Amino acid sequence: MKTRLSAIFVTLVFLFAATLPSGASAGLSNIESDELQMSYALVTQEFYKKVDPQALLDGARKQMIAFLVKNGVKAPAIPAVRANEDQRVNARALEREVAGVVSAYGAKLGARQLTYEAIGGMLASVNDKYTTFLTPKQYADLNEGLDGGCFSGVGIAIRVDEKTKQLRGNDVIEGGPAEKGGIKSGDIFTAIDGKPTKGLTVEDDSKLLRGKEGTVVRISIERDGADIAPISLTRAVIHQPSVYAKMLDGNIGYARLTVFGSTTASELTKALDKLEAQHARAYVLDLRDNGGGYLNAAIEVSSKFIASGPIVSVESRGGSNTEYDAEATAIPPRPLAVLVNKFTASASEITSGAIQDNGVGELIGERTYGKGVVQSIHPLPDGSAVKITSARYLTPHGRDINLVGINPDIVSVQPKDAKYGDPTSDVQLRSAITYLQGRIARLQI
């Protein structure tokens, strides 16, 4: 999870690096030298627990050795480095060690990759699965997932169906080629341009569906167990939304959030405004399979349903605590159900916990994932990045849900073949509708 404070930390790192002797060590470019120093400074200054400098140096060495062995180097000669009390001295020692490895083995394996291995090993040494190194591609993919990217395709979110192992359409993008062509959420794509989808990964399927704008893709579909006539779609430029909304029977507004990205709050505001104009009497907020995103997005989304009061408390290294309150942007109060499952995590759990603790809605589904820590993501000069756990968060009632999760108010187990958003097969959604219908009836008495 990334906050808007990241730039401050990056500035601190540059100040730290500026105090070191200038110039890269032999064998390393200035960029590689800077990235080693920046990464070392970030993990020592920002990780939410105190770190052991010796463990950082050992971690970098261990991963470089493992990488060299994997690539055919027998018994790599990399001497251990002893940590010093001065962190600047340690950063220079790390840089010299990596430079020595590059001088010995870089011609074959590359200075940049060896630098990446050292940074990755250093971050891995803190034993936190969320503190990791991101290659330029991984960082770009993460940004696209959180901030929404534009691509040429047909406009439908996809996943591999657990039962058939074929491609399944999840969320149809409003106004896209798939919607215009009559494709529905829950459709099974048995073949794309004649190529069977069974056994393919989502990435493989995406490559088949995407293509140059204006080109045609032909999709064979199975719907409700029966084959239907193949559908030809003309690819168009698509902006990937993070909110899918519609009105269900009984004037119950439904909004599914796929991620907490930079545009999620504004997308949700537009969706709620539209549903309010259609006289929604209650709402379902679907956070199932939502792995989180930005902290500020969780606060903004929560504020649409919580008129005032605390949303979350963030506890940083050293025990400093920052409380974030609702932003006075709430819609008129309506009965609210929040759908959650074991993949509801991070920012999704911030919103779920805030709604539950403030008593403005009921959580329905299964216990959430249990990720109660916050990450800051810091870009490095070559487009890579380091992601570091910088704090933990507590719900408004002071609950630490890390590794525990949040229990729903109403337990509902979902069958594997459910079609999200379709009340005829989505058991958890039906539970939410039943709950909301009861609340609406009581309000009318």
User: In total, how many domains does the chain have?
Assistant: 3
pLDDT in tens, 308-363: 999 999 999 888 899 999 999 999 999 999 999 999 999 999 999 999 999 999 99
Same domain, 279 and 215: no
Same domain, 119 and 194: no
Same domain, 258 and 356: yes
Same domain, 123 and 249: no
Same domain, 279 and 353: yes
Secondary structure tally for the chain: helices H, strands E: 12, 19
Per the annotation, the verdict on 357 as an active-site residue is yes
Residue 334 is assigned to a structural domain of this protein: yes
d(CA 340, CA 248): 19
Q: CA 393: distance to chain centroid?
A: 17
Per the annotation, the verdict on 227 as an active-site residue is no
Mean pLDDT, the chain, rounded, equals 91
Same domain, 233 and 262: no
Same domain, 120 and 180: no
> Which of these three, 207, 239, 271, is where a domain ends?
239
Residue 140 is assigned to a structural domain of this protein: no
Same domain, 177 and 312: no
Output the pLDDT for position 253: 98
pLDDT in tens, 123-179: 999 999 999 999 999 999 899 888 876 789 999 988 888 778 889 888 888 889 999
Same domain, 315 and 402: yes
Report which of 346, 355, 249, 281 is spatially closest to residue 311, judged by C-alpha positions: 355
Instruction: Name the active-site residue from 346, 348, 412, 431.
Output: 346
Q: Are 441 and 252 in contact (CB under 8 A)?
A: no
Residue 211 is assigned to a structural domain of this protein: yes
Instruction: Name the active-site residue from 2, 304, 371, 387.
Output: 371
Output the pLDDT for position 26: 65
Same domain, 276 and 387: yes
d(CA 127, CA 403): 15
Phi/psi for 72 (5° steps) reads 90, 5
Output the pLDDT for position 10: 35
Domain containing residue 211: CATH number: 2.30.42.10
CB-based burial, 396-422: b 16+ in 10 Å, e otherwise? beeeebeeebbebeeebebeeebbbbe
Tokens of 263: 């545009």
Tokens of 114: 């060896």
370-398: average pLDDT: 97
Instruction: Name the active-site residue from 161, 187, 286, 357.
Output: 357
d(CA 410, CA 301): 22
Categorize the per-residue pLDDT at 188 as very low, low, confident or very high, splitting at 50, 70 and 90.
Answer: very high
59-70: average pLDDT: 97
Within 8 A by CB and 6+ apart from 63, the residues are 117, 118, 120, 121, 122, 124
Residue 135 is assigned to a structural domain of this protein: no
Within 10 Å of residue 185's Cβ, how many Cβ atoms?
A: 20
pTM of the model: 0.84
Structural domain including 355 reads 243-444
Residue 172 is assigned to a structural domain of this protein: yes
Residue 146 is assigned to a structural domain of this protein: no
Same domain, 76 and 97: yes
Domain containing residue 369: CATH number: 3.90.226.10
d(CA 239, CA 228): 28
Q: Residues in the chain, how many?
A: 445
Output the pLDDT for position 82: 96
Same domain, 121 and 205: no
Q: Are 41 and 18 in contact (CB under 8 A)?
A: no
Residue 215 is assigned to a structural domain of this protein: yes
Q: CA 185: distance to chain centroid?
A: 22
Residue 134 is assigned to a structural domain of this protein: no
pLDDT in tens, 108-132: 899 999 999 999 999 999 999 999 9
